[in-house]
Structure 1
């Protein structure tokens, strides 16, 4: 069991024929059941062609009809990425994973409004995210494959590199993952920490969760408050940006402290008040989870 993707997922790549799309699609096909899971690509200018044996379609709708795809991953450059998300949503994809970084915020506001107006049932992961991995089964996105190990720990993170760090620590300690999910750090995005915590809580094969956040916004606090009321499994947390100065944008577009809100200390305090064990040292994420698991046994 896993969340969002597994060996039965059928994936198309929007932007597969670009350099980035080709590189990562090839890597994803080499992982787990990738050769069965990745079934085609979309490029209106190259419809009817093939790449590495995969058919290229003119639209997402055509690709879905021909292949039965239910997941789309997007590597389209920033100027066209919002249109690509809306096209995948209109085609009724179950899950849309947008890797693209640098999509204008106004474009994402339009995407959100479009999905709301059309009553879209699609789940959006990202944009500006590394994707997700269900170890041993499927990798969709840009996460390094070799650090993952199959197991029963869920990982959700706003930071790409810290996702990798947490996963590598867990694997080294013999704690495999059910699914590792990077939700991205843009101010307007799809699935939030809270949504992923809910999915992990409902997954019978996830025993505990690592939640990694960043300064800026209030998503982590909202997730912590939800977890306090509803989560039946232990969660450990880390927030990046403890030393970040207020008012200065740090890395991700969403990582800005404003009006005293969104500080790392404030987020950590809320998480701790909600029963989530936290660390201020990223190198201790794995060992903290192991400690929590040992104490609950």
Structure 2
């Protein structure tokens, strides 16, 4: 079991024939992902050779789904075209659209996430590393060789901190790691992933990584308090960030006392979440919590 992505997932790559699409499609295939096609209307009918596998290019998501049974799309298109790409995927009935692209105008993100949700398509991202179920499938840009399959669930706003916690806890392993992205508007939230991990029988403990700005972590804390029975360990990036300055992600900005790391940590701890002050300390808290369960 896993959340959102399994060994049975069939993946299309919108923008596969571009530089980033080519590079990361090759990496996804090497990780065992069943990449069944790319999408580029101008190159439909061609195939692209990736080492020992030839991947067909389709003219549309609908065509690719009809030919291959694809249920996941990974989006590697420029910011100006993401709204159209996700709308096309949602119109085709894709179950999951993983939007890696950064720099998308917020009004575009609001439009395509709202539309996709109405059509029954889950969006992960934008401006995210994607998600990985180790040993089964990798949809996005997360390195596949830094951890193994295990029973920790991970949901994170930060790509690099996703990788660090995966590496720190590599001897234990993960069920699924989801990088939800750090933009002000995203398609899948901490709460969505917490609910999925709560229902996943192969996830024993959840790591939640947040950062300064907004109130997503406070809302996650309230959800954990009321709905999550599995142990949760957290980390909030940005304790030393100066007030009023955007740090890294577009959503990571603090105004006054709103959205500070200290406030988020306090809310999570009040909900029973153990929160580390550094990624390494967070990993140690996870190990300690697992020891208590044995």
TM-score, structure 1 as length reference: 0.95
Q: How many residues align?
A: 290
Contact 2:86 2:116 in 1 (8 A): no
The alignment partner of 1:55 has SS state of strand
My pick for the range that moved more, 101-110 or 19-28, is 101-110
The alignment partner of 2:290 has SS state of helix
Q: Distance in 1 between matches of 2:144 and 2:116?
A: 32
Matched with 1:180 is: 177
Q: Which consecutive unaligned segments of at least 5 residues does structure 2 have? A: none
Q: Which consecutive unaligned segments of at least 5 residues does structure 1 have? A: none
The alignment partner of 1:80 has SS state of helix
Matched with 2:140 is: 141
Q: Which one of 171, 188, 199 corresponds to residue 196 of structure 2?
A: 199
Displacement, 1:296? 3.2
My pick for the range that moved more, 104-113 or 174-183, is 104-113
Q: Distance in 2 between matches of 1:293 and 1:168?
A: 17
Trace 1:22-41 onto structure 2 (pairs within 5 A): 22-32=22-32, 34=33, 37-41=34-38
Render the CA deviation track for 1:147-182: whole Å, top value 9, x for unaligned: 1211100011000000000000011xx211001110
Trace 1:91-240 onto structure 2 (pairs within 5 A): 91-115=92-116, 119-171=118-170, 174-240=171-237
Give the superposed CA RMSD.
1.0
Contact 2:146 2:166 in 1 (8 A): yes
Q: Distance in 1 between matches of 2:275 and 2:199?
A: 23
Q: Distance in 2 between matches of 1:154 and 1:21?
A: 27
1:267 partnered with 2:268: no
TM-score, structure 2 as length reference: 0.96
Displacement, 1:51? 0.8
The alignment partner of 2:169 has SS state of helix
Contact 1:100 1:127 in 2 (8 A): yes
Q: Distance in 2 between matches of 1:232 and 1:112?
A: 29
Displacement, 1:259? 4.5
Q: Distance in 1 between matches of 2:269 and 2:196?
A: 21
